[in-house]
Amino acid sequence: MRIRKTMSNWLTTRYQMVVRNEENLAEVSTFNFTYAKVVVISLLTFVLIFIGALYLSQSLLSQWFDPRHTTMEYNQKLLTLTMEMDSLKSRLRAQDRFIGNVQTILKGDIPKGETYREPDQIKTDELNKDMNPQSMNVGDSIIRQEFEEQDFSLTSYSSNNYSEELKDIFFFPPLQGIVSSPYDLSIDHYGIDIVAKTNEPVKSIADGTVILSSWTQEGGYVIAIQHRANLISVVRHNSALLKKVGNFVNAGEVISIIGNSGELTSGPHVHLEIWYNGNPVDPEEFITF
């Protein structure tokens, strides 16, 4: 009992602390306190400091001092980069397959596995039953077959069907010449024939990547370029090809030389085709010759 009373008196006894000027001993200020107040204030200060330190250790300070936090952060970034890399690899493989199939088609071969065929596709024989095989370019027929099998209708687009992205493309004339044979779906002519001077350079109609640069028996030296907006341009009957597969070309950049190569040709000219979303379109709708 005496100890409890002594402790109570010690905690509740009021004290006064006087601050005086050292030179003249004048009273500057006074402070009244008890040990109970000192204990309470000390405990509150300790609790606040502890909570603040705990918060900082789990947030800001952990980023600087805790190696586990750094490891977790690196692992998260590594996981994100790995997922993005896998996605890019998948897209790259799909693009390689697409380009490979286009190259195979334009060369006159049928792609292995027929990558783009689906169960509900229209039979090519029914679409081509009225065509004259003697007047058909084998490479042309196969590329048309491939595009027809992608649920596309082999009809000419009107200007209202073109996307805004396509309308924004500036098309460069491939060469200066005369259109000797216009685009005509009724006779299965899916491009235009352009007659020009001998050894006239042929230019790319827009920015793009070369996906085919090869020789075919019927089309001679053929070059095809993949442009943006799902657009492909094909130039046949060249005398020389100046770009290789994978080369990026700018609009107006020389890609080949006009010629008379291939079996299905009647004189020096080039045959230009433009395919948009798997459908042939009239080059003269975009380019002034």
**What would the pLDDT profile of 49-91 be if each residue is shown by its tens digit?**
998 887 776 666 666 666 666 777 788 888 888 888 888 888 8
Contact 20, 28 (CB under 8 A): yes
Paired strand residues for 241? 256
Predicted local distance difference test score (pLDDT) of residue 119: 34
Predicted local distance difference test score (pLDDT) of residue 238: 92
Q: Which helix (H) or strand (E) holds 193?
A: strand 192-195
> CA–CA distance from 33 to each of 16, 30, 44, 99, 157 (Å)?
6, 10, 16, 87, 93
Residue 240: Cβ within 10 Å count: 13
DSSP 65-122: H-HHHHHHHHHHHHHHHHHHHHHHHHHHHHHHHHHHHHHHHHHT-PPTT-TT--TTPP
* Residue spans of the chain under pLDDT 50: 110-140, 143-144, 147-157
- Angle ∠(68,80,77) on CA atoms, nearest 5: 30
Phi, psi of 273 (to 5 degrees): -120, 145
Predicted local distance difference test score (pLDDT) of residue 2: 65
Question: If DSSP states are collapsed to H, E and C, what string results for 201-231?
Answer: EEECCCCEEEEEEEEECCCEEEEEEEECCCE
Predicted local distance difference test score (pLDDT) of residue 152: 38
Predicted local distance difference test score (pLDDT) of residue 233: 94
Predicted local distance difference test score (pLDDT) of residue 20: 85
Predicted local distance difference test score (pLDDT) of residue 113: 42
- Angle ∠(118,120,121) on CA atoms, nearest 5: 70
Domains of the chain listed by start with CATH number: 2-63 (no CATH), 124-285 (2.70.70.10)
Which amino acid is located at 98 in the chain? Answer: F
Q: Token pair for residue 115? A: 């990558």
Q: Token pair for residue 270? A: 């080039």
Residue 122's contacts (CB-CB under 8 Å, 6 or more residues apart) are 148, 149
- Angle ∠(179,131,114) on CA atoms, nearest 5: 100
- 106 vs 129: CA distance, rounded Å: 21
- Identify the CA nearest to 205 among candidates 188, 190, 192, 218: 192
132 by DSSP, 3-state: which?
coil
